[in-house]
Copies of this chain bind each other. A is one copy, B any other.
Amino acid sequence: MEIILDSPLDMHLHLRDGDMLQRVAPLSAQTFSAGLVMPNLVPPVTSKEMVLSYKERIQEATKGEVFEPYMTLFFRPEYDYDFLREVKEDILAIKLYPAGITTNSEDGVDNFSVEALAPVLEAMSELGIPLCVHGETNGFVMDREAEFIPIYERIAKRFPDLTIVMEHITTKEAVDALVRYDNLYATITLHHLYITLDDVAGGLLRPHLFCKPIAKRPEDRMALRKVAFMAHEKVMFGSDSAPHPRHKKEAPGCAAGVFTAPVALAALAQIFDEAGVLDNLQKFVSDNARRIYGVTPPKKEVTLLKEPFEVPPSYGDVVPMFGGETLRWRVGSVL
């Protein structure tokens, strides 16, 4: 049994920088045709020069593979129209982080009043630059995403022409919001389709499954699976693959992030196959994103086979999801 995917896309991806970039970028580039690269470096990507030089470093790290890095800019409320007009050709979206909410987000936004955000959002709306949002408040960890929904709604209502992507959604509240506003979209990760908080902390504690937003309740996972498995036209795959070296994960003060880039397509095929919806995977992992973002990714034909895939326990010093386990699907040829 097999399935051939046409230009699979990962619309939420952390490639980091330096040595880590060298190690992980090729793993995404081997199976994905393009990916939306997050800008939360240290310091964050906030200028045209930084976008272009980061893009160059990614292209260098993925040389030899067909892979287009779609670049993002780190949202700052002080960007002006002229700057955005000029940077527009180099980016696909702008990513908004609440201050301090996840890895390297210290420089994010701490005032979510429409007044504070309006100048930039108006310019983005006019210029047709999509807004990607890490939508969490600083409330109780299980409530943060649901508490953020009113902010999504306020922005969606005030800027009806702005494309807004709720990144890595984890709750049924976010799924519900998706259908209330025409301009609200969402990415869903691999790990949030698979796990709940039970997998992180229900047995022994599993730091390699610890991420932000944290995996939620079974009914939340069910809501995510529902829209992913039907390839709902407003949802796209975004792995949020977020590598950390092992010593940052297996320690007190374990960093948030699940590394899924090298296993994502195989594990997606497995779970879509088990749900009997393998035919919808092409839309979830490529077609929906093309339509939502209006992109035409480079051609790449990925054949997935229903054959055992022994996932390596680690890639360098980064432990992947399913590390040491055997998946029931694997990547065959990539053309």
Contact = CB atoms under 8 A, between A and B. Distances in A.
Contact of A140 (B196, B206, B250, B255): B196
Contact of A250 (B141, B196, B202, B252): B252
Interface string A149-190: 000000000000000000000000000000000000000000
B142 A197 contact: yes
B252 A197 contact: no
Interface in A76-108: none
Contacts of A141: 197-198, 201-202
A18 interface: no
20 contacts: A140-B198, A140-B202, A140-B218, A142-B142, A142-B197, A200-B201, A204-B253, A204-B256, A205-B205, A205-B207, A205-B255, A205-B256, A206-B253, A206-B254, A207-B207, A207-B254, A208-B252, A250-B250, A250-B252, A252-B319
A217 B142 CA distance: 9
A251 interface: yes
A220 B254 CA distance: 25
A138 to B, nearest CB: 9
A201 B210 contact: yes
A204 B140 CA distance: 14
Contacts of A217: 140, 142
Nearest to A319: B252
Nearest to A217: B140
Interface of A: 140-142, 196-198, 200-202, 204-208, 210, 214, 217-218, 249-256, 319
**How many of these chains are in the complex?**
2
A205 to B, nearest CB: 4
Contacts of A205: 205, 207, 210, 253-256
| Residue with the highest number of chain B CB atoms closer than 10 Å, among A201, A208, A214 | A201
Contacts of A218: 140
Q: 3 tightest A-B contacts by CB?
A: A205-B254, A141-B202, A204-B253
Contacts of A140: 196-198, 202, 217-218
A163 B219 CA distance: 37
Contacts of A202: 140-141
A218 B205 CA distance: 21
A254 B250 CA distance: 9
Given A140-B198, A140-B218, A204 B250 contact: no
Contacts of A214: 201
A246 to B, nearest CB: 9
A252 B201 contact: no
Given A140-B217, A142-B142, A217-B140, A255 B204 contact: yes
Nearest to A197: B141
A2 to B, nearest CB: 33
A191 to B, nearest CB: 15
A219 to B, nearest CB: 9
B198 A201 contact: no
| Residue with the highest number of chain B CB atoms closer than 10 Å, among A205, A250, A251 | A205
A274 to B, nearest CB: 21
